[in-house]
Amino acid sequence: MAGGLKEVRERIASVQNTMQITSAMKMVSAAKLRRAQDAITRMRPYAEKLQTVLANVSASLDTSEGPYSRDNGDARTLMVVITSNRGLCGAFNNNVIKAAKVAMAGREMAHVLPLGKKSFDAFKNDASKKPVGFADDVWTIFDRLSFEEVRSIGDAILTAFASGKYDRVELVYNRFVNAAMQVTTVEQMLPLKPEAVVDGEPSAQQVEYIFEPNRAEIVNGIIPDSLKIQLYKAILDSNAAEHGARMTAMHQATENAGELLRDLRISYNKARQTVITTEILEIVAGSEALDS
């Protein structure tokens, strides 16, 4: 029984150490989440409004005026799969990778542009999924996250689409809702989609636009920059969602460790009581034997 008590003591010490680690990771993720949440909260209204304007403008352009509006189907698709660099965040990364694989099913050609180490690891051994024309270390974007870094990736994506290498570009990422909720999203980035008619309002095609300074500058300047902002927003969404998912996962792990610790202490106390009772019985039995 002494050996059993020692084993339980060791397990209690191990769970206590694990509990300290998960609790510390929860606090670190909470601090990072506040900064990431502030970033996406500031960016999202601007990006969403800009995306609406972008859809309206693209609807008024024909294919010759808008190279980002041409729609040749989805036979050749570039999937921009955004995950985290690290794990310990529940199903955060698995949900994105699974959604990307489902979206790619049945496509004649589907290449993956991984942003995040987990995405890179999931597809690195599949040569048929490797995109051409992108830097080999593009997946390390979260090591140096900034709009300037995202802009260079966006330039490469726009060039690949405009040149006809891809017919469609889709973003796959976790959209941040709150610390406990992330929504896995598959979002079309290219070609631009005209805004849909809502509640009988005129569609974008029925609206007359005045372009200043001219159509060419709108197409060549504003639309590409707007698309890069859309990409940046998706990356910031994923970044905030990652820290929320990790904080939630570490909170749950800490609670589970606490419950396991209570069970182990109860088991230890029961085993210890059994040892004490056995020793008392042996003493009493020995005393009675001497008296007789």
Residue 46 domain-assigned (yes or no): yes
CA distances from 266 to 2, 14, 256, 262, 270 (A): 16, 16, 16, 6, 6
Provide the pLDDT for residue 128: 86
In a domain, 271, yes or no: no
Looking at the domain assignment, is residue 3 inside a domain? no
271-291 pLDDT per residue, tens: 888 888 888 888 888 777 777
Give Cβ neighbours of residue 41 (< 8 Å, ≥ 6 apart).
Answer: none
Q: How confident is the model over 95-110, as a mean pLDDT?
A: 93
User: How far is residue 212's CA from residue 54's CA, in Å, rounded to a whole number?
Assistant: 15
CATH number, position 150: 3.40.1380.10
pLDDT tens digit sequence for 255-266: 999 999 999 999
In Å, how far from its chain's centre is CA 6?
42
Asked about 237 being catalytic, the answer comes back as no
Band of pLDDT at residue 63, cut at 50, 70 and 90? low
Q: Say if CB 227 and CB 189 are below 8 A apart.
A: yes
Task: Specify the pTM.
Answer: 0.85
| Residue 12 maps to a domain | no
Does residue 2 or residue 260 have the better pLDDT?
260
Counted domains in the chain: 1
Q: What percent of the chain has pLDDT over 90?
A: 60
Q: Which of 25, 80, 89, 171 is catalytic?
A: 89
119: domain range?
24-248
Average pLDDT, the chain: 87
**Per-residue model confidence (pLDDT) at position 54:** 77
| In-domain check, residue 257 | no
- What's the average model confidence in pLDDT over 91-111? 94
- Rounded to a whole number of angstroms, the CA Rg of the chain reads 29
pLDDT at 5: 85
Mean of pLDDT values over 63-76? 77
Largest CA distance in the chain: 115
Domain membership flag for residue 7:
no
Residue 277 falls within a domain, yes or no? no
Report if residue 168 sits inside a domain: yes
CB-CB neighbours of 52 under 10 Å? 12
Q: What is the mean pLDDT of residues 193-212?
A: 56
